């Protein structure tokens, strides 16, 4: 495998990691706020809180990892995306900043504050929408490179594109779907019957919109970037596999059995779709200006980055395992029978 493919594969894996872990986080924040509005907060708050508290910092790292890594492996992405994304990127930063800090303020501050919760819940839903702009732009058509090599971002084109709205919609509903599926598993494990029933309805409610908006994106790509659509068709087995995983996950949730497996199938559902989409996108990073072969970093740097990556993983995997074991797979903790401080 070439360094290029390895590099983009690793980065894509981390973006996928971010997609799952951030979705759980963002959706949970929204549900937490929503429940306080609808008066069911006392039922589900504890479960959400117990999961989120130890992991919220880790979520951000996946994102940082991705954008530092992509500049390392593909330095030209900094040039094209950096210039084009000033406004959407800054909006995403502001939202991330509000969300991250207000989470800490409302969780660790002395009393819970309604405004803080609103800021933290609402910003979580807007972040996926603003971040998904990057994927939209990568399809081409929203950036113009002038004769002098200057990059210009076409805001009008982005806002009037059916494709970009389809992506935003998908980002929004899948966040809520993934999160509700995870929380169902977690609440069930905690033996919290009432919380489980609530989040289970959320999961079921968001399942159909998710699959519907996935189809929408599929067709929107067809009219926006036919080449990519063709590539996706040749990988259609991956999308079929994704759909099968979706059906299994929903069936398990509906029958209230094997919820761990249900969430695993949700992860597989998104893995197939996300990697299918990514593989079909190759070799382009930014259609049609930038492929993974243009201006790839020097071999020495690529080797250095991959070495660091492997060494880093040797450190991270046991650490992440410890984190999961202490807070996700520890029955006493999940059930709230261990003191939190």
Map the footprint of other proteins across residues 40-69, applying CB under 8 A.
53-58, 60-61, 63-65, 67-69
138-197 positions binding other proteins, by CB under 8 A: 150-151, 153
Helical axes 259-281 vs 226-234, angle rounded to 10°:
130
> Applying CB under 8 A, does 317 fall inside the site for other proteins?
no
The least distance separating other proteins from the CB of residue 330, rounded to whole angstroms, comes to 9
User: Other CB atoms closer than 10 Å to residue 108's CB: what's the count?
Assistant: 8
**Complex with other proteins: residue 38 or 339, whichever CB lies closer:** 339
40 or 53: CB nearest other proteins = 53
Helix (H) or strand (E) holding 151: strand 151-153
Secondary structure (3-state) at 153? strand
The number of residues that bind other proteins (CB under 8 A) is 73
Whole-angstrom distance, CA of residue 341 vs CA of residue 327:
13
The only residue of 31, 33, 81, 239 in contact with other proteins, by rule CB under 8 A: 81
Nearer to other proteins, 87 or 162 (CB): 87
Neighbours of 162 (CB within 10 A): 12
Q: Pick one of 6, 145, 301, 328: the residue that binds other proteins (CB under 8 A).
A: 301
> Cβ contacts of residue 228 below 8 Å, gap of 6+?
139, 221, 280, 281, 284, 287
Alpha helices in 74-161 (DSSP H): 75-84, 86-108, 114-138, 155-159
Nearer to other proteins, 40 or 335 (CB): 335
- Which residue number, 251 or 298, has a Cβ lying nearer to other proteins? 298
By CB under 8 A, residue 322 contacts other proteins: yes
* 98 torsion bin: left (phi>0), alpha (psi -120 to 50), beta (else): alpha
Q: Which is nearer to other proteins, 85 or 248 (CB)?
A: 85
Does 308 bind other proteins (CB under 8 A)? Our answer is yes
Binders of other proteins among 201-240, rule CB under 8 A? none
Of positions 34, 40, 89, 215, contacts other proteins by CB under 8 A: 89
Task: Check binding of 283 to other proteins (CB under 8 A).
Answer: no
- Distance, in Å, from the CA atom of 75 to the CA atom of 17, rounded to the nearest integer, reads 22
Q: Which residues contact 44 (CB under 8 A, 6 or more apart)?
A: 31, 32, 35, 183, 187, 194, 195, 198, 199
Using the contact rule CB under 8 A, the part of the chain among 39-47, 76-84, 222-230, 264-272 near other proteins is 76-84
| Cα 263 from Cα 18, distance rounded (Å) | 16
User: Using CA atoms, how far apart are residues 102 and 99, in angstroms rounded to an integer?
Assistant: 5
CB of 77 to other proteins, least distance (A): 8
Segment contacting other proteins (CB under 8 A): 79-87, 168-176, 190-198, 267-275? 79-87
Q: Is 340 in the site for other proteins (CB under 8 A)?
A: yes
Whether residue 288 has a cis bond before it, omega within 30° of 0: yes
Q: CB nearer to other proteins: give 169 or 302.
A: 302
Q: Is 297 in the site for other proteins (CB under 8 A)?
A: yes
Question: E strands along 210-302, which residues?
Answer: 284-286, 290-291
Site string for other proteins, 102-121 (x = CB under 8 A): xxxx--xxxx----------
């Amino acid at each position: 495998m070439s360094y290029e493919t390895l590099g983009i594969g690793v980065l894509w894996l981390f973006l996928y990691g971010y997609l799952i872990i951030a979705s759980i986080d963002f959706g949970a924040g929204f549900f937490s706020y929503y429940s306080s509005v609808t008066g069911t907060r006392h039922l589900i708050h504890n479960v959400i809180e117990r999961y989120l508290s130890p992991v919220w910092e880790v979520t951000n790292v996946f994102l940082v990892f991705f954008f530092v890594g992509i500049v390392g492996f593909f330095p030209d992405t900094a040039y094209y995306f950096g210039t084009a994304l000033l406004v959407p990127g800054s909006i995403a930063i502001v939202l991330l900043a509000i969300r991250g800090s207000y989470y800490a303020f409302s969780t660790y501050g002395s009393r819970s504050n309604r405004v803080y919760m609103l800021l933290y819940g609402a910003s979580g839903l807007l972040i996926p929408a603003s971040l998904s702009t990057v994927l939209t732009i990568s399809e081409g058509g929203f950036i113009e490179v002038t004769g002098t090599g200057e990059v210009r971002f076409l805001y009008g084109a982005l806002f009037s594109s059916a494709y970009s709205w389809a992506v935003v919609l998908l980002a929004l509903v899948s966040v809520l779907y993934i999160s509700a599926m995870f929380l169902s598993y977690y609440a069930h494990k905690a033996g919290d019957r009432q919380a489980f029933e609530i989040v289970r309805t959320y999961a079921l409610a968001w399942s159909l919109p998710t699959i519907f908006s996935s189809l929408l994106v599929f067709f929107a790509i067809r009219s926006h970037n036919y080449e990519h659509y063709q590539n996706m068709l040749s990988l259609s087995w991956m999308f079929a596999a994704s759909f099968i995983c979706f059906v299994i996950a929903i069936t398990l949730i509906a029958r209230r059995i094997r919820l761990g497996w249900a969430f695993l199938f949700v992860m597989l559902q998104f893995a197939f779709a996300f990697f299918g989409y990514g593989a079909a996108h190759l070799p382009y990073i930014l259609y049609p200006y930038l492929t993974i072969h243009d201006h790839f970093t020097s071999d020495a740097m690529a080797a250095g980055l991959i070495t660091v990556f492997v060494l880093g993983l040797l450190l991270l995997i046991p650490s992440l395992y410890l984190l999961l074991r202490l807070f996700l797979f520890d029955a006493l903790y999940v059930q709230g029978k261990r003191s939190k401080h």
